[in-house]
Amino acid sequence: MLTTGLSEPAREDLCADAVVWASQHGLVYGAGRADLPAALVHAPLAVFPVAYPKASYVKAQAAMPIFNLLIDRISRDSAYLQQTLAPAAEFDDFTANLLRIHQETLSLRETRADKQLTLGLHRSDYMLDELSNTLLQVELNTIASSFGCLSTLMTQLHHYILQRAGCSDQEVQRLPHNQVTADLTSAMAAAVKAFKVNDAVMVMVVQPNDNNSYDQQWLQTVLWEKHRVRTLRCTLTQIAKEAELHESSGRLTIWGRTVAVAYLRAGYAPEHYPTAVEWQGRKMLEQSNAALCPSVAYQLTGAKKIQQDLAAGNTLERFLSADEAKLMRKCFAGLWSLDNLEDPETKKVLKEVREHPERFVLKPQREGGGNNLYGQAILDRLKDPKGLAAFILMQRIRPPINRCLMIREGSSFEVDSLSELGIFGAFLSQGSEVLINKQAGHLVRTKAASSDEGGVAAGFAVLDSPSLQD
């Protein structure tokens, strides 16, 4: 909206303003230069916020505490998780390994159930569907939900840019308050406090050389500045090799410090477990009494297969009240399992896929993004029925297309784009007692309409923020 009506010099000035502000305020990525590892570059970003219907935004916020509860309740139903995910595990070693650890630690965790802290920092991602005029869930992330801190900064950047552009106060106030950094760190600090061990730390489990480490580092900085909680960064390999687990108590220590919270920004993709050692590290976390963010059960609950199962049958009603289930169901896009290709429902939808492949996405069940299939690629994949159970078929959402002025690595360009809204959730429980359950701010990612993949880090999308419209 704002990109039109500005003179070319004014646009250039605002682009320069955005790059400078982002670089000054830590809205940055690692530049990924082997010859200069300390180099940074501003995060890819949209210069102006994207117009977004206020009603949809408010609905997504209201849904988040229910999603938090839903995840927690499903995660406690071990039999349901094992049973529902077994078919996927046949074709997916990654899910199989998670299920194995989940099974092997069941009894251990049951004995600690009363005292066990569970920390959930989720993000539910949506797209507007223009056809149905509804907000549909794309993904529910229960592990390593990222961009919370950079998104908090994006809101501040858009404040700055709108003021620099001479917009009215009314226009500036359409940017909703965004408190992700504060809310996530408060929940982490609450978990550390509830752990009740002096000087216990948070361990952030990371991948080495992650270019998005500044989004993570902001959590560490604020956790220290506001709550005086220290964070140790380590890899799953280091957990396996350098941490100690005290078997009877479950106390986990590393480098001489007791771990109150293990916050995973790694472990969501098969490549994070190159050897058995990393799986051993993951299992040690699961055996510990630390508040896990997430537990294996939380991670499994976020599997696309579970999402599909909730969308398909009456499972949702087993975990939520009728009213809550109804509200949730409105957010679900069409999702179909490919476990049984002879199932009449499956046959019916596959017929539609063959006629209109552009209405669908074929998604692998495991986490980490990438490798979604569209159009002809779906048809090609369907020709070979082997391993199809590891995929989920999903209704392709058709979001509105907006012009977006983007900047990447200092260069600006204007493209047709579509936007994805993420709502963060924070949840903390001890045994069956819920200590925190709230929505925790938002993230908007905008990508070129011609690009079929998400993932700002992969360079296909930019950080954005919503300008709420009545």
Binding site for a copy of itself (CB under 8 A): 9, 19-21, 23-26, 28, 31, 33, 36-42, 160, 164, 214, 217-218, 220-221, 224-225, 255, 409-410
Residue 304 a catalytic site member:
yes
Alpha helices in 77-147 (DSSP H): 78-91, 93-104, 106-111
Q: What share of the chain is helix, strand, coil (3-state, %, to 5)?
A: 45, 25, 30
What is the rounded CA–CA span in Å between residue 376 and residue 118?
Answer: 43
Choosing from 141, 145, 212, 402, the catalytic residue is 141
Catalytic residue among 174, 282, 438, 445: 445
Q: Which residue number, 380 or 409, has a Cβ lying nearer to a copy of itself?
A: 409
- Of the two residues 21 and 147, which places its CB atom closer to a copy of itself in the complex? 21
d(CA 35, CA 329): 50
Q: Is 363 an annotated catalytic residue? A: yes
Query: Catalytic site residue 100?
Result: no
Is residue 146 flagged as an active site residue?
A: yes
Would you say 241 is a known binding-site residue? no
Shortest distance (Å) from residue 271 CB to a copy of itself: 25
Candidate list 304, 305, 417, 465, residue with the active-site label: 304
Is 364 flagged in the annotation as binding?
Answer: yes
φ, ψ for residue 87 (rounded to 5)?
-60, -40
Taken in order 465, 442, 393, 333, the sign of the CA dihedral is: negative
| Residues forming beta bridges with residue 208, ordered by sequence position | none
**13 or 317, CB closer to a copy of itself?**
13
Residue 351 annotated to the active site? no
What DSSP string runs through 54-93? HHHHHHHHHHHHHHHHHHHHHHT-HHHHHHHHHHHHHH-H
Task: Establish whether 420 is an annotated binding residue.
Answer: yes
Q: 453 a known binding residue?
A: yes
244 in a known ligand binding site: no
450: which residues sit within 8 A by CB, 6+ positions away? 415, 416
* Closest to 125 measured CA to CA, from 418, 350, 345: 418
61 annotated ligand binder: no
Question: Which of these is catalytic: 109, 123, 265, 282?
Answer: 123
Q: Which is nearer to a copy of itself, 138 or 175 (CB)?
A: 175
Active site residue 141: yes
Which residue ranges are tagged as binding site? 123, 139, 141, 216, 304, 363-372, 374, 394-397, 420, 445, 447, 453
> Which are the catalytic amino acids?
123, 139, 141, 146, 304, 363, 367-368, 445
